[in-house]
Structure formats: structure tokens, C-alpha cells
Structure 1
Amino acid sequence: MRFATLLCDGVEQSVVAVPGGRWAPLNLVDSGLTGDLLRLVERVPDAGTLAALADRARSLPERDLVSAGGAVFRSPYRRPRKIWGIGLNYREHAADLSAPHPEQPASFLKGDHTIVGPGDDIVLPRQSQRVTAEAELGVIIGRTARDVPEKDAFAHIFGVCAILDQTAEDILAQNPRYLTRSKNFPTFFSFGPEVVTLDELAGYGPDLERLDIATVVNGRTVRANTVANMAHGLRRLVSFHSELMPLFPGDIISTGTPGAGVIRPGDRAQARVGPLTPLTNPVVADPLIRPEGTAPSEGRGTP
């Protein structure tokens, strides 16, 4: 199943995909599902409940559906309890940086003020002259998870999504302790356009190991890789972080990038994740005086 948040009659509304490339507003199926997708995720439905919801959505009259061409995607939601980012999680990317991949997940937190959605501007902050965009696979937590064994991790996942995670790379280069600072400027976390449940991706392996992720800037693939080449797989990431603290419905784990690309005003950054609809964001300068200077064409990035 595929879920999203669309702008419907000027209001953000969660929707589910139905046959024919259309979207069905979930509030017309269940009056308790008014608003963005977080409302659905927080209700912690099991797979059977979700399937029943999708079946009812298919029965909606044509006039209530939103066509693919008329869909205006927004961020799936904007107020998760936590956003975990994972650094250096692809072995080849760690080698690019002449750094060994961490023996345990190298994670950091991002604030929800960083969130934007598909088509929204990524704003390059005036404090940085070298910002990178990094495509990642996002994991959306669907059930509260605490001390979850790896074998049970997927039972706590609502779905996955495409992510563009941004880094002020020149700030990070000054000191690795500046990771939080370099990752938390506004617009430095885009996700969407859709959240896809794991059943849709069964053909990519039991651990989604054949799912591919690519960072693309202006139509050029900067770097691509597959989930199989992560140092710490999806089950490990969910289990590990559930041991640190509770994971709540709607929490996001951004699982690391295969590689990063420097972005400049006028660029278009894109995350491509397997069969998911690509996530694309234009890049603009901070309106409060962007420093002069040009950046090299490729970035190193961290996650």
C-alpha cells in the first residue's frame, strides 16, 4: 500500500493509492483520519486494518478521488517525535572519506523544524558555502518499539520513504563535533512523496537488500548503492535504537546515504529509492545574503 499527504481543497489530507493512479482521501473512509499521515501512523493499525482501509477506499465514487496529475504532494507529516540520522552506513561511502565504517551505528538527531516536503525549496544557509544533499532510505516506525530483537524489527515498521538529508559540509569539516549544527538548518530534511508499506517491496528481498538508493543532482546520478551494502541493516538499526530509547509511531530513521552531491542555487536535488516515486527539491539561496563563491562539483558528505 502507498500512502501520502496531499493538498486537497487547500487542506492537507492523508490519502491512499487506489487503482488507476488515483488517490483516495482517508477522511472519506474513516472520519478519524482528518489531517496528515501521522494521524494514521499513530493509530498503529496492523496490516489487516490497513488492507481493510484500502479496500474501503477503492469503493469511493470517482468524484472523491484525486488523479495523479492533480495531486499536490506535501510532506507526509511534520511533527515526528524523533528523527534519527545514521552516518557512514555504506561501506563504500565510508571508504570515500578514508574512514572505517563504525562498528555500531553512528547516529545523530535532527529537529522537526528541518522538515520540508516534495517540491519545497532547500534553502542554503548563509553560514555555509558548501552544502550537500544526500539521498537516503527512510524507515517510518509504526508501533512503539523498546528493546526489540532484530528478528521482530519489521513488525514495528509502518513503511519506508525517500529522504533528502542535507549537510553544511564546510561546518562539519571544522570539527566532527559540529555534526548536529551542520545537520539542523531549516529545510535540511525532505521526505516523501509517499510512504510505502513493506508488502509492496516483497520482491526486493526479506531485508529489502536489493532495494537501490541513488543521490541525483540535476539529473546526474552522483552515487548509487543497495541496501545489501549497508554496514548496519534495517533490522539492526531499529533494534539498536530501540535499546537506547523508545521509538514511537511516526519516528523516522534515515538510514544513511550511498554518497552526497554539492548543491547550489538553481539546482534540483533528487532521491531515488527503488520503485518509490522520486523525491525532488529545488535549491535556493538564503534570502539573507548568500556569501559569494563557488563550490566544487562533488561532495563528500557524512551520512
Structure 2
Amino acid sequence: MGKNLLIKKASGESVPFSRDKLLGSLHRAGASDKLADSIVDEIESWLKDGVSTKKIYTKAFNLLKEKKNSLAARYSLKNSIMELGPTGYPFEHLVAQLIKKQGYEIKVGQIVQGYCVSHEVDVIATSPKKQFIVECKFYNSRGKNATVKVPLYIHSRVNDIVRRMKLNPENSTVSYHGMIVTNTRFTSDAIDYGKCAGLHMISWDYPAGNSLKEMIERYGSFPITALVSLNNTQKQRLLDEGIVLCIQICSQPELLNKRGLTKSEIKKVLAEAKELACNSADVNS
């Protein structure tokens, strides 16, 4: 069943339903073979021609949630990142922490003087011999990709900043690099230009082995918006106070006090946060 049915993507494009693709996404969320097969079987029995990918995602999410909150949270990671908006600051914080995990000192939201003009830089990541000037392109809806205009613009900004940096003899041993991180995808010409210009390009699923999704899972840096045990209002209040990652809740459980949560609800939130983050990351980093 479902082999010949067409489903509609967020872009409006119709594509064939793929059982293997859905199984893969469920497995990546941590579902066992048995659980993934049962969920896909149920979805195929419900599926109709023209159903949106969003409705399929919602049904799979709810079925996972019935089994285990942390499975549903991992499955909903892409949506959870989009829920970090509407401002881009929480996403910048997430990106900064991912880079910090790789041994860099980080600064977020800096004004940097270039050779010609000053620039607001989302993240500056520094090691003794290397510095990354990082632009974060955050989109809070599906179907939006970063086009070639993004690396064209960022490349010119990076060049202006680096030109001034190199006027200082103390910076002669430091190599400077531009980086763009987006939570969706780059168009093919954006990637081509980025490669040609020497920019480091990171999107939801690019590059293979070091994409945004893979880094979040590798370092356990899940956003609090992934927590199924919190409602949207509770998540937004935490974001408003600069609490972006589950790891912050793991290391400081008291952050959940005075949030209108009962003791049993706090216990549930902490258990889910630990399953997502604390068991795969250093809470003291």
C-alpha cells in the first residue's frame, strides 16, 4: 500500500510516498524496527492520494509520542528548531554552542569594524590560530531555502572584516574564515558559490557527516522546543529568558521552578531532557 500514492510537500510539489524514507526517519529518531514498521503500516492504511507531508509527519509524531516522549522529540527536531523563532537569537545561541563543542571560544551578537563599514556578526568563533565569522540564516517555515544571494552577501562582509583584521600585525598568524549556518537548505548554486569562495556552509543536511542535524545529535544540543513535556507557552517563557538548550535544564534543574509546573511535571520534563541531552553531552561544558 502507498507505493503509487502521491503526497504534497511544503513547496507544493507532489512526490511519490516512500515507505523506506519514512522508516529511515523513524529509525533515526531511535525507533526500533518493530515500532517503525508498525507506525508505517498504520500510516499506509490511513494514507490517501494528495495528503500533505505535514499531516504524515503529525501522525507519525503522535504515534511516537504514545510510545515515548524522547522518540517524538528526536523525530520533531527540524520543526523544533523552526519553533525557536520568530527572532533569530535562540538559533544563534544554538549554533554558537555547537561550535563551542568543537573547542572554540565564542561570542554572540558582536559589532565588528570592517575596512569600509561596521558589521553585526551573529557568532565569532576563535581558536589560537583560526577565527570563524559566522552568519546564521534562520527560517521559521518550511519550503524556504537560502539562495545564492546569501553567500554572495556574506562573502563581501567577511572580506571587509578580514581586510581590516589583517592590518594588525598581531593577526598575521591567524587564518580567517566565513561560515554560514542555516536550519533549512541551500540551493545548489548557493553551495557552488560557497565552495568556490571558500565559505564553510552548513545546513540541515549538508555537509554529510557534519550537518546541523548531525551535530545537534552528536553533541546532545537539543533545543528546549523539542521537549514534548512542555507546552508552547512554557517553551516561549524559557526562550525569553535565554534558556535555549535542554542541557541548560539538565545542569540547572531549578530553572524549571516557578513555571507553573507541578513536581511530577518537572520530573517528567527533566527525564525527557536527560534522555535527549544529558546522557550524550558534558553538562559542565
Whose strand fraction is larger, Structure 1's or Structure 2's? Answer: 1
Whose helix fraction is larger, Structure 1's or Structure 2's? Answer: 2
**Structure with greater contact order relative to length (CA < 8 Å, sep ≥ 6):** 1
**Larger CA Rg, structure 1 vs 2:** 2
